[in-house]
Amino acid sequence: MAKYEILFKQLRMAILRGEYAPNDRLPSENAIAIKHGVSRITSKRALNELAAADLVYPRSRWRDLRQTTQKHHSAPNFTRTTFS
C-alpha cells in the first residue's frame, strides 16, 4: 500500500472518530507531513483523496470538514475539515 493511502486511511479514521469537529480546519500539508513523517506531496495526495471521498472541501491551500450523510460514512452527520 502506498504511503498516501496509509495516511489517507489514518486521517479518514481521525475524522470519523470525531478528532476534528465539523467545520474545523485540518492542519496544513506541511504540518501533516511532519507529524506523520512523510513528504508534503504525500500529505497533499492524502488530502486530495479525502476530498475525493467527500470528507473535506478543497480550498486552494486548505480543506474544511464537510457535513455528510450517514449513508456515505459511518459517522452520523459528519462535517468536512479544512487543511491550511
Note the pLDDT of residue 65: 66
- In this prediction, residues 64-74 reach a mean pLDDT of 52
**H or E stretch including 15?**
helix 3-16
Q: Which domain holds residue 63?
A: 3-83
What's the grid cell of residue 25?
480546519
Distance in angstroms (rounded) separating the CA atoms of residues 2 and 10? 13
Note the pLDDT of residue 63: 61
Alpha carbon separation from 36 to 4, 29, 42 (Å, rounded): 11, 11, 10
Domain with residue 67: its CATH number is 1.10.10.10
Note the pLDDT of residue 67: 57
pTM of the model: 0.73
* pLDDT tens-digit map of 17-65: 999 888 788 888 999 999 999 999 999 999 999 989 988 887 655 566 6
How many domains would you assign to the chain? 1
